[in-house]
Amino acid sequence: MSILVNSDSRVVVQGLTGATGSFHAQQCMAYGTRVVAGVTPGKGGTRHLDVPVFDTVVDAVRAACANVSLIFVPPPFAADAILEAADAGVALVVCITEGVPVLDMARVRARLREMNAAGNPVRLIGPNCPGVITPGQCKLGIMPGYIHKPGSVGVVSRSGTLTYEAVWQLTSHGFGQSTAVGIGGDPIAGTGFTDVLALFEKDPETNAVVMIGEIGGSAEEEAARFFKKKMSKPVFSFIAGKMAPPGRRMGHAGAIIEGGSGTHAAKTQALQAAGITVIENLSQIGETVAKHGKELVA
């Protein structure tokens, strides 16, 4: 099973002809992802990386039956690209772009909420994220494919390289992943921890979840509440930023302790109180899952 993407996903890459889009689309294709089209306004009718390029997403959906979009367009145009994909009927939109203005994302959230209410649900992952991968089936993003292997641990994370670190440790300890989802490091994300935990809870092929959080906001606290009420599968968590000074943005736009909220201590406390195993030492993710979760994950 897996969640969000699999070998049937038909991907349109928005910003395919740009340097970043081009490079990563090639990597995705090499992994086996079915990239069926690209979109670059003004370059419709051409071909790039051996797939057709369209001027609009709706053309790509009609002509190439794309059902998933992967976005690499620059920050000033990213929100518009997301809305274009949503409007074209793409059910899953993954936005890799870093640096999208927060109010642009607020507008996107408002529109997606309206579409959802009108019965046209669109799931957005990101922005400012590494993407989503279902090992062995579909790599939709910028993560290195080779560190993953198919298996039954779900991974969800606000950070790119920390996800790679966690995945690599899991793989090295013999635990494959059902799907690894990077939800991104921005203050407003399309999809939060709670949404992804709900998907993993429902997925019969996921037996345990590793959740990588960081300081700032309250997504981890919300996840703790959700876990306590609705989840039967074990969750292991690591929270980055214990040493981060308050009031400073730690690289990610969303990683900031504001007015004493969003601290490492508060998150750890909420997760532990809910029954989630919190791993303090990043290097011990693999062995902690091995110790606690062997029978569940085997």
Partner 1 sequence: MKLLEHEAKALFRSRGVPVPPTGGVIKTLGRLSGALKRAGKGPWVLKAQVLAGGRGKAGGVKLAKNASEAKAAAKAILGMRLISPQTGPQGVLVHEVLVDKATDIARELYLSIVLDRREGRPVVMASAEGGMEIEQLAREKPGAILREPVSPARGIDDFQARRMGFALRLTAEQVTSFVKMVRALTRLFIDYDASLVEVNPLVVTKKGELIALDAKMSTDDNALFRHPDLASRDDIEAGALEKQAKKVGISYIELDGSIGCMVNGAGLAMATMDTVSLAGGRPANFLDVGGGANADQVTRAFQIILKDKRVKAVLVNIFGGIMKCTTIADGVLQAVKKVHLNVPLIVRLEGTQVAEAKAILDKSGLPMIQADSLWDAAQKAVKAASEAPR
Q: Look up 252 and say whether it is catalytic.
A: yes
Q: Is 259 in the site for partner 1 (CB under 8 A)?
A: yes
Give the contact letters, 193-232, x = binds to partner 1 (CB under 8 A), - = no.
Answer: -------------------x-xx-xxx--x----------
> Strand locations in 63-188, DSSP E?
68-71, 92-95, 123-125, 131-134, 138-141, 150-157, 177-182
Determine which residue in the list 43, 48, 228, 249 makes contact with partner 1, applying CB under 8 A: 249
Length of the chain: 298
Q: Is 236 in the site for partner 1 (CB under 8 A)?
A: no
Secondary structure class of 298 (helix, strand, coil): coil
Do residues 206 and 151 lie in contact, with contact meaning Cβ atoms separated by under 8 Å?
no
CB of 1 to partner 1, least distance (A): 26
What is the CB-side half-sphere exposure of residue 7 using CA atoms within 13 A? 7
Determine which residue in the list 81, 132, 181, 244 makes contact with partner 1, applying CB under 8 A: 244
CB of 261 to partner 1, least distance (A): 7
The residue (of 31 and 54) whose beta carbon lies closer to partner 1 is: 31
* Distance, CA of 183 to chain centre: 4
Q: Is 188 in the site for partner 1 (CB under 8 A)?
A: yes
Q: Is 269 in the site for partner 1 (CB under 8 A)?
A: no
Q: Is 53 in the site for partner 1 (CB under 8 A)?
A: no
What is the CB-side half-sphere exposure of residue 13 using CA atoms within 13 A? 34
Q: Is 119 in the site for partner 1 (CB under 8 A)?
A: no
Only segment of 57-65, 82-90, 245-253, 265-273 that touches partner 1 (CB under 8 A): 245-253
Report the alpha-carbon distance of residue 78 to residue 57 in Å, rounded.
Answer: 13
Kindly tell me the burial class for residue 105, based on how many C-beta atoms sit within 10 Å of its own C-beta (0-12, 13-18, 19 or more). buried
Q: Point out the catalytic residue in the list 24, 148, 252, 264.
A: 252
Nearest to 194 by CA among 217, 211, 170: 211
Q: Is 77 in the site for partner 1 (CB under 8 A)?
A: no
Q: Is 280 in the site for partner 1 (CB under 8 A)?
A: yes
Q: Which amino acid is at 32?
A: G
Residues 6+ apart with CB under 8 A from 295: none
Determine which residue in the list 254, 263, 278, 289 makes contact with partner 1, applying CB under 8 A: 254
Q: Is 156 in the site for partner 1 (CB under 8 A)?
A: no
* Distance, CA of 122 to chain centre: 14
Determine which residue in the list 63, 106, 265, 296 makes contact with partner 1, applying CB under 8 A: 106
Determine which residue in the list 117, 204, 281, 295 makes contact with partner 1, applying CB under 8 A: 281
Neighbour order of strands in the sheet with 123-125: 47-48, 51-54, 34-39, 10-14, 68-71, 92-95, 123-125
Chain residues binding partner 1 by CB under 8 A are 27, 75-76, 99-107, 109-110, 142-144, 146-147, 157-165, 168, 185, 187-188, 212, 214-215, 217-219, 222, 238, 240-245, 247-255, 259-261, 264, 280-284
Active site residues: 252
